[in-house]
Structure 1
């Protein structure tokens, strides 16, 4: 049960939302997170939360970036207190406040686990994963184009007419990749 238990009622786990990502989705090599500072500066959490609660809230957002699945937190007060390096009793007291460190964090299902998710954090993580996949696709397309251009140059030295045939170059490149010769310097 979450820390803000005084405001929650027991629910059937099947009523909880499913988290859209799994443990296999990660942001390895992700050294920054998107932070919408204007949204934060005008948020109720920033305007109504105490300094301590705001600091812990932000720490939880940062900590969630390294959790599995990314963007979630454990639904366990002791683990959260350890992650935040605060006393569990103090965290529970602060979390009972309307604008406590767990403001808008809600339970969700992550496979067979119950964890905490935050709508805005989930959106940030999904956007970061989308950018990561777009980057990877762009890099792979650029690498394939360079690889095919090198192949075309090599074939041109042997058979200039064959080097002009795009379908033949694509077929040769695909065959070489299938044979394990993806990188050809």
Structure 2
């Protein structure tokens, strides 16, 4: 095993964990203009540039995503190249591990590249935004369906946003997967009891 010599106490902690997976992220966002004008492309040898790109692609499927093992021999195996030759290439200023830096990852030292990390953070942010939008759209449709069924049972109550939200929450706590009219009638009855309790509590003398 040949690893970079680092002092673990001086290392930054990698911000992503092994739980931060992007299994559906099957492509690598590539800023072509940034790459075309980068020092790595302009000053690195064709072989180093090719291995550099391969390592970026490999890192996306590692754990944590976006990192590489801090082991030259293992990296050489991943690249299908001779380990001794790879170590020599890594001594070049613009070698295959250009700008890959050691970081602390859950108790072990791995390698991270700022460009790869930035692209992963962007991808995770987009995924979370999409998830939030999907959940919001799902909630909106669920409430619309609930309000529609409630209108056929109690038209006045269906116009009460607070009641609709409360009954929606009650149905979820009851584990109701299929919201039949019977279930919604039970939800309305529960809301009525809840409202009655609140009114009685408000009228109850204090002191």
* Residue number among 70, 91, 94 corresponding to 2:89 in the alignment: 94
DSSP-derived class of the 1:177 partner: helix
Larger Rg, first or second structure (1 or 2): 2
Give the 5 Å matches for 1:7-156: 10-156=5-151
Query: What is the TM-score when the length of structure 1 is the normalising length?
Result: 0.91
Q: 1:2 to 1:167 in 2, by over 3 A?
A: farther
Q: 1:182 to 1:91 in 2, by over 3 A?
A: farther
Q: 1:116 to 1:184 in 2, by over 3 A?
A: farther
Provide the C-alpha distance between the structure 2 equivalents of 1:149 and 1:12, rounded to a whole number of angstroms: 58
State the 1:172 CA deviation. Answer: 1.2
State the 1:87 CA deviation. Answer: 1.7
State the 1:183 CA deviation. Answer: 6.8
State the 1:83 CA deviation. Answer: 1.6
State the 1:11 CA deviation. Answer: 3.7
Provide the C-alpha distance between the structure 2 equivalents of 1:181 and 1:78, rounded to a whole number of angstroms: 55
Partner in structure 1 of residue 155 of structure 2:
160
Query: What is the TM-score when the length of structure 2 is the normalising length?
Result: 0.81
Question: Where do 5+ consecutive residues of structure 1 fail to align?
Answer: none
DSSP-derived class of the 1:116 partner: strand
User: Contact 1:95–1:102 (CA<8 Å) still a contact in 2?
Assistant: yes
Q: 1:63 to 1:14 in 2, by over 3 A?
A: same
User: Contact 2:6–2:102 (CA<8 Å) still a contact in 1?
Assistant: no
State the 1:178 CA deviation. Answer: 2.3
Provide the C-alpha distance between the structure 2 equivalents of 1:111 and 1:123, rounded to a whole number of angstroms: 20
User: Contact 1:49–1:99 (CA<8 Å) still a contact in 2?
Assistant: yes
Q: 1:112 to 1:162 in 2, by over 3 A?
A: same
Provide the C-alpha distance between the structure 2 equivalents of 1:87 and 1:181, rounded to a whole number of angstroms: 60
